[in-house]
């Protein structure tokens, strides 16, 4: 697996940085986000460093989606969202591709 020395998610995957893990398999990890905008904010990511665009064109996306939905069902039984941010204007702050699972409260409706 390719790791990027300056990527915090690669460091978490390599156990070089602390994280609260909710799921781990050979290819995917799920961690609790440090941000706390909502009661549940999980990050679902491949262990391999892929950009967001690479992630969305990779065969692992289907598995990532399955894991994200399972985590949402497990940790947000009343409902959740699965989100993905692309680029700085899309509020992507990490270059390591990932999905967000957010919930644990009634989420704001946008028109």
pLDDT at 92 over 70: no
Give the count of domains, the chain: 1
Which residues have a Cβ under 8 Å from the Cβ of 91 and sit 6 or more positions away?
Answer: 85
Residue 87 lies in a domain: yes
Q: What residue numbers bound the domain in which 79 lies?
A: 56-105
Assess if residue 27 is contained within a domain. Answer: no
Please give the radius of gyration of the chain, using alpha carbons only, rounded to the nearest integer: 13
With respect to residue 95, please indicate whether it lies within any of the assigned structural domains: yes
pTM: 0.88
Let me know if residue 73 belongs to a domain: yes
**Residues 68, 74, 77, 83, Cα dihedral to 10°:** -20
Is residue 82, in this structure, part of any structural domain at all?
A: yes
Cα–Cα dist 58/50, whole Å: 9
Q: Which residue has the tokens 């990050």?
A: 43
Q: What is the pLDDT of residues 23-71, one digit of tens each?
A: 999 999 999 998 888 889 999 999 999 988 899 999 999 999 999 999 9
């Amino acid at each position: 697996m390719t790791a990027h020395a300056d990527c915090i998610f690669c460091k978490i995957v390599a156990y070089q940085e602390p994280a609260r893990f909710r799921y781990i398999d050979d290819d995917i990890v799920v961690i609790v986000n440090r941000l706390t905008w909502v009661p549940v904010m999980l990050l679902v990511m491949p262990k391999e460093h892929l950009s967001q665009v690479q992630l969305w064109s990779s065969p692992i996306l289907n598995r990532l989606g399955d894991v994200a939905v399972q985590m949402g069902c497990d940790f947000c039984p009343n409902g959740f969202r699965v989100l993905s941010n692309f680029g700085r204007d899309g509020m992507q702050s990490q270059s390591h591709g990932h999905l967000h699972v957010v919930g644990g409260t009634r989420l704001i409706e946008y028109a």
